[in-house]
Chains A and B, each alone.
Chain A
């Protein structure tokens, strides 16, 4: 969306005073709510809302041949669709760059976190492995789809059950699931936190107007490894000149935020799965 310079300037003025349009601190997330099991044909699914931003994620699985460089590794594919339903700015048609980039960032955040134990997704070495499709759809875009997508992907993965294999055909028996969950390494607890730079300020969880005013951004994927917070993926966007000190501060802030946000999101997913199991 093209927002007016007037709005941009006003946002900057606010940020210089340390406030935002919605009254949040510069590095404060909006309320996050998580629901799982929102689509019963999926192996796993989730709805994540961050403020007014809403995304849905679903996990589907099929059996396929492994890649030559990983004969014992399961495979994964993440797609993000920016539905025209979710914003007046999105149009029908093949995925535009923003959707492709979102899918890529979410993919890397999950893949390189070690959250999925791909070795355990091998059915027959060199011949058959599980492929996990994670499809994410925007339902209402009010900024920060990138962090919402990552949370939704994790929640849907945690909700997922492995489908039954038809012994005769060697293919998935659609609509039937085992009680087995995906091989996930829970303690990794991957989270994505995106920092946006507007003027001299660095903020997180931008609403749409802030996102459109941002000169640049950097997405930091974080995990817990050996009880320490580690950065497992990074991607910056838009032409940027980040100072080394500035980046250093971002990494520190990311670690600090992860400790709280990671726990918070983890608890919310756990509660969502419990609620869903009771149904």
Chain B
């Protein structure tokens, strides 16, 4: 078997190094909760509205509230202009994010209601869904929605045979050797529970196990930042806006 040829990352990062992350709480005054989250130059913004009555009524669940996510890219956030409005891709990702967030939310307390989570990518440089999920979790906490845990997401890549943390666009387009494999994974922050897993490429089952471990470790860093900005926001505002 040939040796691994991806021995140095294109942007000089260590193999298990995330891009510089940043986050901010309370960026949209109209929303009940809001936040931004960035991995390097990937920037996501999230707004939470609700829990609020759900119309039309037949969509309501009398036992618990429901969550609706709406993820999309701004038309100019990508190299070739994306036509404004939802695409098949954005609808799929929206649903995946919904599924990833629902398990941590205390929706039983809000029967008949909906929580809308709007997620927009302002600048796209890979891992947009992970950035969106991280922003959404902060925004939900900011909105005061009962949560049993935060949610943290990261993408793990396999470039040729090398596992790397937080894939950039440049790496996503890597074609040498075994090429690029992109694995977006989302964890419940304080347990080892996987909430979402998507993979495109090729990897051995052993390699995937390794990748999940690496992802779990990296999401702890994401989680630390999420907690840090939420705490800072609380201190700054005293809890109220």
Residues of A within 8 A of B (CB): 38-43, 45, 52, 54, 56, 58-60, 62, 79, 81, 83-88, 92, 94, 133, 135, 137, 139-142, 174-175
Contacts and interface: CB of A to CB of B under 8 A. Distances in A.
B30 A86 contact: yes
A3 to B, nearest CB: 14
Contacts of A142: 29-30
B48 to A, nearest CB: 10
Given A42-B77, A87-B30, 10 more contacts: A39-B43, A45-B76, A59-B76, A79-B75, A85-B47, A86-B28, A88-B52, A94-B85, A137-B74, A140-B30
Interface centre among B46, B47, B49, B116 (most CB of A within 10 A): B47
A39 B74 CA distance: 10
Given A56-B122, A133-B81, A139-B45, A85 B31 contact: yes
Contacts of A88: 30, 49, 52
B124 A41 contact: yes
A83 B75 CA distance: 13
A39 B123 contact: yes
Nearest to A39: B123
8 contacts: A41-B78, A43-B76, A45-B76, A60-B81, A84-B116, A86-B30, A135-B75, A140-B29
Nearest to B119: A85
Residues of B contacting A: mostly: loop
Contacts of B122: 38-39, 56
B75 A85 contact: no
A94 B74 CA distance: 15
B28 A85 contact: yes
B76 A84 contact: no
A58 B84 CA distance: 12
Contacts of A42: 76-77
B86 interface: yes
A56 B30 CA distance: 16
Given A58-B76, A60-B75, A142-B30, A84 B84 contact: no
Contacts of A85: 28, 31, 45-47, 118-120
Nearest to B31: A85
B66 to A, nearest CB: 15
A58 B45 contact: no
A92 B86 contact: yes
B80 interface: yes
Interface of B: 28-31, 41, 43, 45-47, 49, 52, 70, 74-81, 84-86, 116, 118-120, 122-125
Contact of A174 (B49, B80, B84): B80
Closest 6 CB pairs of A and B: A58-B76, A174-B79, A85-B118, A42-B76, A60-B81, A135-B75
Contacts of B31: 85, 140
A56 B118 CA distance: 16
Contacts of B47: 85-86
A18 B224 CA distance: 50
Given A39-B76, A174-B80, A52 B29 contact: yes
Contacts of B52: 88
Contact of B79 (A41, A59, A141): A41
B229 to A, nearest CB: 19
A173 B80 CA distance: 9
Contacts of A39: 43, 74, 76-77, 122-123
A60 B82 CA distance: 10
Contacts of B120: 83, 85, 137
B74 A58 contact: yes
Contacts of A133: 75-76, 81
A58 to B, nearest CB: 3
A79 B83 CA distance: 10
B120 to A, nearest CB: 6
A83 B81 contact: no
Contacts of A43: 76
Contacts of A38: 122-123
Contacts of A175: 79
Contact of A41 (B46, B84, B86, B123): B123
Interface centre among B30, B46, B85 (most CB of A within 10 A): B30
